[in-house]
Amino acid sequence: MELAQIISLGEGYHQEFKESIDKSLVREICAFANAAGGVIFIGISNKGVIKGISIDNVTRSRLQDSINHIEPKLTVNIEYQTNLIIIRVPESSNKPHSCSDGFFLRVGPNSQKLTRNEIIELLQKQNIIQFDRQTNLRAMFDKDFSRSKYQRFLRLAGISPTLPEQDILISLNCLTPQTQLSNAGTLFFADNIEFLILQAKVCAVLFKGTENITILDRKDFCGDIISNIDDSMIFLRKHLNLAYKIEHLKREEILEIPEIALREAVVNALCHRDYFEAGANVVISIFSDRVEISNPGGLPPGLKKEAFGRKSVTRNPIVADLLHRVGYIEKIGTGIKRIRDAVALHGGCSVEFEYDEYWFTTIFYRQTTPQSDNVTDKNEIATAKRTNVILELIANNPNISTSELATQLEVSKRTVLRDINTLKQQNKLERIGAEKTGYWKING
Same domain, 358 and 430: no
Among the candidates 86, 106, 125, a domain finishes at 125
* Beta-bridge partners for 38: 89
Domain membership flag for residue 157: yes
Q: Which domain holds residue 23?
A: 3-125
Residue with more model confidence, 260 or 368: 260
pLDDT of residue 296: 92
pLDDT score, position 371? 46
Whole-number Å distance between alpha carbons of 336 and 271? 13
Same domain (yes/no): 276, 358: yes
> Is the sign of the CA dihedral 405, 406, 409, 415 positive or negative?
positive
Residues 268 and 180 in one domain: no
Flag whether 320 is in a domain: no
Q: Give the pLDDT band of residue 247 (cuts 50, 70, 90).
A: low
Report yes or no: 99 and 112 within 8 Å, Cβ to Cβ.
no
When pLDDT is cut at 50, 70 and 90, the band that residue 46 belongs to is confident
| Angstrom distance (rounded) from CA 75 to CA 71 | 11
Phi, psi of 210 (to 5 degrees): -110, 5
Residues 6 or more apart whose CB falls under 8 angstroms from that of 27 comprise: 99, 101, 104, 111, 113
Q: What does the mean pLDDT of the chain come to? A: 86
- Tell me phi and psi for residue 251, to 5 degrees: -90, 130
Report the C-alpha gap between 431 and 33 in whole angstroms.
65
- 220, 341: one domain: yes
pLDDT of residue 410: 80
Question: Cβ-count burial of 5 within 10 angstroms (0-12 exposed, 13-18 middle, 19+ buried)?
Answer: exposed
Nearest-angstrom CA–CA distance, 96 and 121 = 11
Structural domain contains residue 283: yes
User: Could you give the CA distance from residue 441 to residue 141 in angstroms, rounded to a whole number?
Assistant: 33
The predicted pLDDT at position 374 comes to 47
Rounded Cα distance, 66 and 97, in Å: 13
> At residue 269, does pLDDT exceed 60?
yes
pLDDT band at 250; cut points 50, 70, 90: low
Q: Which of 143-152, 167-176, 196-205, 400-409 has the lowest mean pLDDT?
A: 400-409
Same domain, 45 and 85: yes
Tell me how many domains the chain contains.
4
Q: Which of 145, 164, 198 lies at the terminal end of a domain, its last residue?
A: 198
Torsion of CA 181, 187, 192, 198, to 10 degrees: 110
**In the prediction, which pLDDT does 370 show?**
46
Report the alpha-carbon distance of residue 399 to residue 382 in Å, rounded: 24
Residue 321 inside a domain? The answer is no
Together in a domain, 227 and 309: yes
